[in-house]
Amino acid sequence: MAESSNDHSPAPRDAAVAHPESIGSYRIRALLGEGGFGYVYLAEQSAPVRRLVALKVLKPGIDSMRVVARFQAEQQALALMDHPNVARVYGSGVTESGRPYFAMEYIDGPGIIAFSNREKLTVTERIKMFIAVCDGVQHAHKRGIVHRDLKPTNIVVSTSGMPTPKVIDFGIAKALDDHDPNMPELTHVGHLVGTATYASPEQILGVAEGLDARSDVYSLGVVLAELLGGALPLDLRGLRGALLTQTVMYAEPVNASQMLEGIPYERAKAIAEERGTTVDGLRRALHGDLDDIISKALEKEPAERYPSAIELSADLVRTLHQQPIRARSRGPVYRIRKFTRRHAKSIAVTTVVAALLASAGTYALIRSNEADAARGESFAAIRARADAQAEAVDMLELLVGLLRDENSEGAPGTRRMDLKTRLEQISNRGAQLALDHQLEADLRLHLGRAFLSLRDFEQAEREARRCVEIADGLGRVDPLFTSMRGELLLAAVEREAGDPARSSSVLRGVEDRMRLLELNAESAHFDLLELASLQAKLALEQGLTQLALGNADTAVLDFNEALDRSPPKSVSHVATSNAARTGKIDALLTLGRAHDAELLAHELLAAQTAVLPPGHRWIAATRSALGEALYMQGRVADAEPLIASSDALLSSTLSAESSLVRASSRRVDELARRLGRAVSRGPTVPEVTSQQRAAEGPAPKP
């Protein structure tokens, strides 16, 4: 709970209040805090399980029969929630004196802003943590539960293990807001359940009926502004009655990048330092996209805000990856600026070519528009079609970002975002747009890869088949080999779903098509770099499938071919070569060639640590495989810390369904059987400095 403290020290007690020693099966250990409508106790539950809980008990005076009934009704909905960024509600009941209570997950950490300031999280780290909060709120919204009292103290960061933000008190505001005439202070306009500063205008104006997810989006916008900018965009503290309602209706929130201007310089400097930057640096970081994202969340009209928490977080993901956001008009200047920022290194090379092509491109566009007009297509229709294409490009950019980060380590408390919801939204939206066939095929390819990463094999297969169908129907040579990439994805889906024989059959068809491509490569003017990259990808998939079929010898040959064919200048080279080396290590271990696997693991670790941050999941996975090679050679003492630390990192940052986690867990189990005891759980993979690497010396030679 936000009111909790790490040392469980009791809060000062009101001498006039007799606090109970126990409530039901809960033994009271300390008073954690007191809010406007209840007390929060640290309690120990004895049955059906023993655990510490935060027990929130309503104060006398707001415990009417209707409130009790609402609490009990809310409990049914709250029991359905199961999300790492939402505090669990274990149960509810009524004390002997008739006062309702909730037993909730006890969280031993501060509010999100207090934690972020204490740890001096950067703006980027705060955004990543906030994305996890949006994930939790979206989880509740999908179950029909609106919080209605989101504020920093209701978003608590658990500090047991990896810091994780958790939203608390879901459903309590709704249960209390029952318009009971005995509680006028809670239901009059301007006196609502919750805190006016973070409440949406419709809540403050008394529109109790029909409050939906967009009210929570507004509150999230206020929290985000304060989390990033260090101040409130619209300070309503101390306002009451008509002054409050007039301010809410007519005053415009201050942009996040401008909030420091009205603050004494020393305070502004302290706020910037808490974010690891200067005052000017913080203004620059917040100016532009973040200002626009927060402004959209804080629109006074609900219809003008983001429709859901996940849409808000999607724009935050886009801005982290320098992609166009939804919160502002996507004019050509804006898109060019975004493109330039993302691809700064290549702009110098392409500027001259772009200048040479500009006149021809403009003429082609004019002729195209004239032809469209001649066919009777209105300007509005042309514009709508162009907008559809632009939206599809945005969806592709978002997908690439999601695929890149789906298994990556982020700021404290982040987790895999609710990808499936986003992917389904993108898939449905893509079906509604009149897209260029090549663009739609590419969109389906990326969607299929994303669904495969979530192990949603049915949806991944559907997207892969749609990709192949669209690409095969282009009626011309597919310049990006999208059809064959779709078939390779289909083969991967079959293999991961447990049918490597079908995967092998699909790959044989791809191999036949590849031979035809190779024969016609020069005459068809193929992009030879793309072709070589595709050949390497085919060899990689063949190796993985042969390994799944138990043909480790053949798999080694395929992985070698993938490494030989992958062109270093291709975009996919790093991922392909890493996967091929990892697969080859697994194949060597399967063949019992532990020493060869050890040598290759050392080689791969050297390559990985040169370009990846310490503790990256690829490094952890390779260290785990190295551990297996060591214990296969009888070097158990050397293997145990490698396997244990790698498993700790992988299991704490990736989904349990991840292939890396499953492989790591298998190694832990196998080592435990060899040891005859549990594997000692060490810390996560430590940071390895260049000095430490030098001290360790080079990898052993054959």
For the whole prediction, is pTM greater than 0.85? no
Q: How far apart are the first and last CA of the chain?
A: 57
Beta-bridged to residue 58, according to DSSP, are 38
CA 626/CA 579 separation, integer angstroms = 15
Residue with tokens 């031993």: 108
Neighbouring C-beta atoms of residue 374, cutoff 10 Å: 8
Separation CA 246–CA 204 (nearest Å): 11
Q: 343-371 burial, b for 16+ CB within 10 Å, e for fewer?
A: eeeeeeeeeeeeeeeeeeeeeeeeeeeee
Q: How far apart are CA 260 and CA 229, in angstroms?
A: 7
| Among the listed residues 438, 445, 449, the one whose alpha carbon sits nearest the alpha carbon of residue 404 | 449
Are 202 and 211 contacting, i.e. CB atoms less than 8 angstroms apart?
yes
How large a percentage of the chain has pLDDT more than 90? 30
Report how far apart, in Å, the C-alpha atoms of 564 and of each of 53, 569, 576 are: 58, 13, 11
Q: Please tell me which residue, 21 or 1, carries the higher pLDDT value.
A: 21
- Cβ atoms 75, 88 nearer than 8 A: no
* Residue 447 vs residues 283, 311, 659: alpha-carbon distances, Å: 36, 18, 19
pLDDT: which is higher, 648 or 433: 648
Helix (H/G/I), strand (E/B), else coil: 137: helix
Three-state DSSP at 38 gives strand
Q: What is the pLDDT of residues 607-628, one digit of tens each?
A: 888 777 777 888 889 999 999 9
DSSP 8-state symbol, 597: H
- How far apart are alpha carbons 351 and 334 in whole angstroms? 18
CA 529 to chain centre: 32
Q: Which helix (H) or strand (E) holds 41?
A: strand 38-45
* Contact (Cβ atoms closer than 8 angstroms) between residue 510 and residue 488: yes
- The confidence score (pLDDT) of residue 572 equals 76
- Contacts of residue 697, defined as CB under 8 A and 6 or more positions apart, other chains included, come to none
Active site residue 149: yes
Out of 149, 394, 586, 596, the active site residue is 149
Distance CA 254, CA 654 (A): 38
Most trustworthy range by pLDDT among 169-183, 236-250, 516-530, 598-612: 598-612
Provide the 3-class DSSP secondary structure of residue 521. coil
Task: Point out which residues pair with 105 in neighbouring strands.
Answer: 53
Indicate if the pLDDT at residue 288 is higher than 70: yes
The yes-or-no verdict on residue 189 having pLDDT over 60 is no
DSSP codes of every residue in 342-379: HTHHHHHHHHHHHHHHHHHHHHHHHHHHHHHHHTT--H
Which among 637, 623, 620 is positioned nearest to 674, based on CA atoms?
637
Determine how many CB atoms are found less than 10 A away from the CB of residue 97.
10
Query: Rounded to whole angstroms, how far apart are CA atoms 248 and 240?
Result: 11
The strand pair at 26-34 and 51-58 is best described as unpaired
pLDDT computed for residue 48 by the predictor: 78
**Kind plus residue range of the DSSP H or E element containing 42:** strand 38-45
Query: pLDDT-derived band of residue 242, with 50, 70 and 90 as boundaries?
Result: low
Average pLDDT over residues 104-116: 91
Q: Are strands 155-158 and 164-167 parallel, antiparallel or unpaired?
A: antiparallel
Q: Where in the chain is the domain with CATH 1.10.510.10?
A: 22-328
Q: Which two tokens stand for residue 44?
A: 């120990």
Q: Yes or no: say if 627 and 588 are a contact pair by the CB < 8 Å rule.
A: no
Distance CA 235, CA 238 (A): 9
* Stretch among 178-192, 448-462, 486-500 having the lowest mean pLDDT: 178-192
What is the C-alpha separation between 526 and 481, in angstroms, rounded?
A: 10
**Residue for token digits 């990192």?**
649
Residue 105 has φ and ψ, to the nearest 5°, of -55, 130
Query: Residue 691 — very low, low, confident or very high, per pLDDT cuts 50/70/90?
Result: very low
The CATH class that applies to domain 22-328 reads: mainly alpha
pLDDT tens digits along 578-607: 899 999 999 999 999 999 999 999 999 888
pLDDT tens-digit map of 339-386: 444 444 333 333 323 332 333 333 233 333 333 443 444 445 544 555
Other Cβ atoms less than 10 A from the Cβ of 96: the count is: 8
Catalogue the E-assigned strands of 73-162: 89-94, 100-105, 155-158
Tell me the β-bridge partners of 43: 28, 53
pLDDT grade, residue 156 (50/70/90)? very high
